[in-house]
Every structure is written in C-alpha cells, then in structure tokens.
C-alpha cells in the first residue's frame, strides 16, 4: 500500500467520522441543534492557517478533542501498513551560501523533512551553551566538536517531541514541514562575524538562521502561512533574539503574508545574583551577565533593533527574556521550568546528590518566585514547577501538565487564539488556556514533572522522596506554613 493511498484512505475515514458526529448531533443527542445543511467538503482556501488537509470541522466543533483523538488513532492504525516504505527522517542539507559557516569554517546547514500539502513550517534551533573567549572555545572544540563543526554530522536525523511526525507523540504539529538547524556557532544564535586571527573562529549564528530561511523559500516556504521558530536552551534564547528579524527578512523578500511566531523553551534566563560568586573562567562558573557581556564582543553579536534602541551600549540585556520580550512584535509562546537546571548551574547551585544546605534551599525557592514574577505579564506561557531543562523535543513533552492542561494542548489553544485574533475575534477560545503557571512553591511539587532518579542507585523517586533527598525538612516547612506535617505530606503527594 503506497503512502498516497494511505493518506487517501485516512481522509476518507475522517470524512466518514465527521459524518457520524454530525448525524449524532442532528438526531437529538444531549445538545440538539437546529437542523442545517452541512457544506459539501471542498479544498480549503489558501488563506487558511490551521490545517494542511481539506476538512470542514463545523459539525464537530464541540467534540473536537474526541474527534481528533479518533483521527489520530486512525492514522496510527494505518502506519504499520507502510512502515517499511514511509521515511520519517529529516535529511541533511548544507547552505547554498558557503561563506556562512560553523565555528571552524565547515559549512553550516540544516535537516529537513517535507510535508507536501502542508503550509505550516517549524524551524527548530538546537541548544548547547556557548563559549566566550579563545581559551574556552578551544576547550569546547576539543570536547564538544559537534557543536562547532559539521564535519561529522550524520546524513539523517529523527525528529522527537514537537519535531516528531507521529501524531501520538506530536498531536498538533506532526504534519508540518520540519526543519532542525544544528547549533555550531557557540554564540546563542547571535553572531555575525567571520573567522579572524584574533578570535580563531567564525561566529555566525544569526546569519545561519537567515540563510536557512532563504534556502527554504526555494523548497516551499514561499507558500507557507505559518512559520514557527522554535528552540530549546540557547536555542530558546535564540528564538527571542531572532523571531522579529526572521519576520522582517521574509517581509523584505516579498513574503509579508507568512505569519512568523516564536516558541522559546528553557531559554528565559535571569540575570540574577549567583548563590556563590566565582571568577569568570568558563561557561559554568561565570555569572550569566558577565559571560554574555564578554561573549557579545567576541561573537560580533547582533540583537533585535527595538531592543538595541532600548539598551544602547548595554545590548547584553537583550539576551535575558524578561528584558527583550517587551520589545518583540511577533507572537511568542514561552515554555520555562520554574526550577531550571541550567539556571541553577550558572547560579552555582550544583545538585550532586547530597542534601542541599538551608541557604541553597531558600535560594532555589526564591528562584521560582523570581521566575514567576518575570513571566506574569507574558500572555502565552507554560511554566511547571519542575527541576529540569528543555522539554519540547522530549518524547514525554505530552505528559507534563499545568493545572490539568498539557503543553501540546496549550500550544494548540495558542494557535486557535492567534487564528481568532486574525479574524477580529478577541475573546480567547472557551476552555482553552494559554497562560499556565504552577503556583506550588517547591521543585517537583507538580506530580506530572519528568521522573527524577537517584544519582547513585538509579531508582525512580516520587516527590516526597526527592524533597527528602534534597534535605527538605517536613516538620520545619509545615511549621512555617502553619499546618500539620501530615497535611503537608498529603498536599505534596497530590501536587496541591
């Protein structure tokens, strides 16, 4: 059975399902509606942004989740028929412009999987810290060459999480055109400088993104309606720095109709005071502000013009989410763990498996409070009270919830709200939240957080075991909260 025949059968079954839903509704179910003639299915207008295949959802709009679950199950049931013939991998392409390179001068590039017929594109920026002087860049080149050179990149890459082509792993973006840009510029996707004798390396992160977009225009992006620029960690910060420049590039190249949006995962860092100050020798020990101040000079960084105007002479501010966000024009969805492991690392809180000291515990709790405060005015965001780093390309990204809503669901709601706004319907979709932040105060107080394992035994830990492991004093904390210790334990167990 060919892939095309599979798709045809899927669409036929979808229409049949749609008819079943409509029939139930019109035959006097729990919420009977006045009879009306459903429109005949036709191919969608090219101006629509929601789906890449022709469906009329009018008859099932109140049963959308159930309907999409059945569509997904139908799709999954058909996959085994052609598992040997369908290729889900993204394939490596090097840039047409060979002057834009990785740190060591090898060609930069991207991985791509086309989804013919879809007008939605997802470009993902990989993360992986940075280096900010010749000495620590040399060390990075010796130990993490993949993040500075394309010489050993594989020919294909399998997408996971939001890059997965499987609807059970990626319920709302599985059929988009997927692009993965490997991180090989070590500059938080901000550099625009060629290799020099002084630096020893090229730093071209921002130029790599621009050249990838130009190349993709010849591969179908010119017909896109939505372009989601996503990224994790340094890639998440890269989204905040580049989403507006990408929108401006496309408009300048004659494509103002492409709706450019951002999805920043684990890239919303704070320029806070470290728990314990240390000398700035390397990426891990250096305070975030000092590392970026040194880096932007070494990288020849460019920052978004509106942010630059606000912070003239102190452009380093634009690398910190809460400082750059007010100047961003494009819609951006922020995903941020409230207790981000990378943030704790640069703040010199190292969770090595030993119980934390009381001062460290207070610092960790205050970090969650600070992050909440910086996110309160972000309209679209998802912030679980978990100790972790990165999520949107993890296969468990569908399992984490905030207040009963999963991240894929929240992103789908955000999509719908942007769609409705473009139709001058300012009211958010009913029962479809997009501003989701945990209110519980401790790491992993959310029971849907990713599993934590004991570093020495490898055993999974529940939230109470984890907090005890970190030196959490139930009696003392209950006293501070003015409650019975057993009640506090019950709340922790349930994630209240």
What residues act catalytically?
A: 233, 340, 389
Within 8 A by CB and 6+ apart from 41, the residues are 15, 54, 55, 56
- Cα–Cα distance between 293 and 470 in angstroms, integer? 33
- Cα–Cα distance between 249 and 255 in angstroms, integer? 9
> In which region does residue 189 sit, left (phi positive, over 0), alpha (psi from -120 to 50) or beta (all else)?
left
- Cα–Cα distance between 288 and 489 in angstroms, integer? 36
Alpha helices in 233-340 (DSSP H): 234-252, 288-299, 305-310, 321-324
> Largest Cα–Cα distance of the chain, in whole Å?
78
DSSP type of residue 80:
G
Tokens 């060390």 sit at which residue?
139
Tokens 């729990």 sit at which residue?
30
> In which region does residue 435 sit, left (phi positive, over 0), alpha (psi from -120 to 50) or beta (all else)?
beta
Tokens 């910190």 sit at which residue?
320
Q: 3-state DSSP call for residue 98? A: coil
């Amino acid at each position: 059975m060919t892939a095309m025949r599979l798709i045809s059968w899927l669409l036929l079954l979808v229409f049949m399902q749609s008819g079943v839903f409509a029939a139930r509704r019109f035959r006097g179910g729990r919420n009977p509606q006045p009879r009306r003639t459903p429109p005949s299915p036709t191919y969608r207008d090219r101006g629509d942004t929601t789906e890449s295949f022709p469906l009329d959802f009018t008859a099932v709009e109140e049963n959308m989740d159930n309907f999409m679950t059945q569509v997904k199950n139908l799709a999954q049931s058909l996959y085994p028929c052609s598992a040997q013939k369908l290729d889900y991998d993204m394939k490596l392409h090097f840039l047409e412009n060979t002057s834009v390179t990785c740190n060591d001068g090898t060609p930069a590039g991207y991985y791509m999987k086309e989804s013919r017929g879809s007008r939605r594109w997802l470009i993902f920026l990989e993360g992986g810290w940075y280096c900010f002087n010749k000495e620590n860049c040399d060390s990075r080149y010796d130990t993490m060459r993949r993040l500075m050179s394309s010489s050993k990149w594989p020919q294909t890459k399998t997408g996971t999480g939001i890059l997965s082509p499987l609807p059970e792993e990626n319920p709302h973006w599985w059929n988009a055109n997927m692009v993965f840009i490997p991180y090989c510029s070590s500059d938080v996707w901000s550099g625009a400088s060629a290799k020099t004798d002084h630096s020893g390396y090229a730093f071209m992160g921002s130029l790599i993104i621009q050249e990838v977009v130009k190349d993709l225009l010849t591969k179908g992006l010119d017909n896109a309606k939505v372009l989601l620029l996503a990224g994790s960690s340094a890639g998440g910060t890269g989204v905040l720095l580049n989403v507006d420049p990408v929108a401006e590039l496309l408009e300048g190249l004659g494509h103002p109709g492409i709706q450019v949006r951002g999805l920043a995962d684990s890239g919303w860092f704070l320029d806070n005071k470290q728990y314990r100050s240390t000398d700035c020798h390397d990426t891990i020990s250096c305070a975030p502000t000092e590392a970026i101040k040194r880096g932007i000079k070494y990288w020849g960084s460019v920052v978004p013009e509106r942010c630059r105007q606000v912070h003239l002479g102190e452009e380093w501010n634009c690398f910190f989410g809460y400082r750059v966000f007010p100047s961003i024009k494009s819609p951006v969805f922020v995903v941020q763990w409230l207790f981000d492991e990378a943030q704790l690392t640069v703040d010199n809180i190292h969770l090595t498996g030993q119980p934390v000291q009381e001062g460290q515990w207070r610092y960790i709790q205050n970090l969650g409070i600070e992050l909440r405060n910086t996110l309160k005015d972000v309209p679209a965001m998802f912030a679980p009270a978990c100790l972790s780093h990165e999520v949107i390309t993890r296969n468990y990204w569908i399992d984490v919830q905030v207040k009963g809503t999963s991240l894929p669901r929240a992103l789908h709601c955000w999509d719908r709200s942007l769609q409705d706004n473009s139709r001058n319907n300012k009211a958010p979709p009913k029962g479809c939240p997009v501003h989701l932040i945990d209110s519980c105060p401790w790491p992993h107080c959310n029971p849907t957080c990713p599993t934590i394992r004991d570093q020495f035994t490898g055993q999974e830990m529940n939230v109470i075991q984890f907090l005890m492991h970190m030196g959490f004093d139930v009696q003392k904390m209950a006293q501070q909260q003015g409650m019975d210790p057993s009640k506090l334990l019950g709340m922790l167990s349930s994630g209240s």
